[in-house]
Amino acid sequence: MNMPRATVSKILPFSCVDGPGNRLVLFLQGCNFACVTCHNPHTMALCTHCGDCVPACPTGALTLRDGRVVFDPATCTDCDDCLRACPINANPMVREMSLQEVLAVLRENLAFLDGLTVSGGEATTQLKFLVALFSAIRSAPDLAHLSCLVDSNGHLGPNGWARLLPGADGVMLDIKALDPETHRRLTGQDNARVLASARLLQAAGKLEEIRYLVIPGVTDTEPEIAALGAFLDELGAAPRLRLNAFQAHGVRPPAAGWPTATRAEIDSVASRLSQLGVTHIETPTVYL
């Protein structure tokens, strides 16, 4: 059997916003949603080696060799001009990494870590790699204490979760909208699978938190908030709900022109949800 490899967009050795404690975050490339509010749109697609980014690179870090775009990290100055040139929301700087390479990065940073969070893109599009990674962490005595969390949009089906959950400590699940039509407009996909994932994860005791992006005028309407409250009620002992404030930074048009969610708007959503009986609500520390 071929050992799976990961297509990695970025690795951060310090993150205090992707689960409890300090987490190494592995951002995997590729997503099955096309969210108009995405802050990292260059993580959506996989490179097709069209070469459009090559002339955009001011330092020559990108070249075309045998029909493939080749990236030289030593020459790159992190200007991100290539991301702006890419016609399909991909990233020529992604790295293919083996399981052993990812484990080596974890070990280099081990003294500083409480755990690992896989994010994206949509991490579960690289399911085979995640299953192998979590299993390797669980069976390595020096790594077994690390908690393994997954950031997900919830599009993964029940068979996929059945393979992933044995190795995962928890999932932080995005619910973009409760109204199916609004969800489709925001993400390009229906939300039935997302809500099913929430129920499945809750039943498995692996729903670490639900994240809800507050977009003024879109996801903070009375019907949306009422539906969110009702859904959390239906889940029973509801997990932590993290309210994120929509920010235009990094977002592409047309959503780049949408108004930012203010502290007052977030507080209003939180208070309406409290009145509906939602108890465990986290609001942002920082507003831009």
Partner 1 sequence: MSLDLDTIRKIVTDPTLNPSQKARFLSLEAENALPYPETDPEAAQALAEGVLCDLVEGHAPYKPRYVLPDFSVLLANGSDYLELEPPKTLDEAINCLMIAWHHTPSVTAMPVFIGHLDRLLLPFCEGVTHDDLVNKIRLLWRYIDRVLPDAFLHTNIGPEDNRVARAILQVDAELKQIAPNLTLLYDPESTGETLLRMATDNIAACSKPHIANHPLHAAAFDARGYGIVSCYNALPAAGGAGTLVRLNLHEVARRSEGVEDFLQRALPHYMELQFRLIEARMGWLFERSGFFENFIVEEGWIDRDRFTAMFGIYGMAEAVNMLRGKNGLPGQYGFDAEANALGYRISEQMAAKVEATPVKHAWRGRALLHSQAGISSDLEATPGVRIPYGSEPDPVTHVKALAPHHRFYPSGISEILTLDETVKANPQALFTLAKGALASGFREFTANVAGNDLVRVTGYMIRLSDVEKYRNKEGSRINTTGLGAEAAELTGILERKPRVIGHEYAQGYGQ
281 binds partner 1 per the rule CB under 8 A: no
| Site for partner 1 contains 230 (CB under 8 A) | no
Say how many residues touch partner 1, by CB under 8 A: 19
Calculate the CA 244 to chain-centre distance.
Answer: 13
Report if residue 159 touches partner 1, rule: CB under 8 A: no
Exposed e or buried b for every residue in 73-88, given b needs 16+ CB within 10 A? Answer: eeebeeeeebbeebee
Instruction: CB nearer to partner 1: give 18 or 122.
Output: 18
Stretch that binds partner 1, among 31-39, 61-69, 255-263, 278-286 (CB under 8 A): 278-286
Is 216 among the residues that bind partner 1 (CB under 8 A)?
Answer: no
Copy the structure tokens of residue 159.
């068979």
14 binds partner 1 (CB under 8 A): yes
Q: Looking at beta carbons only, is 22 or 260 nearer to partner 1?
A: 22
Decide if residue 22 touches partner 1 (CB under 8 A). Answer: yes
CB atoms under 10 Å from CB of 208, counted, come to: 22
**Looking at 36, 53, 62, 113, which residue binds partner 1 (CB under 8 A)?**
113
Q: Using CB under 8 A, list all residues that contact partner 1.
A: 12-17, 20-23, 108-109, 111-114, 282, 285-286
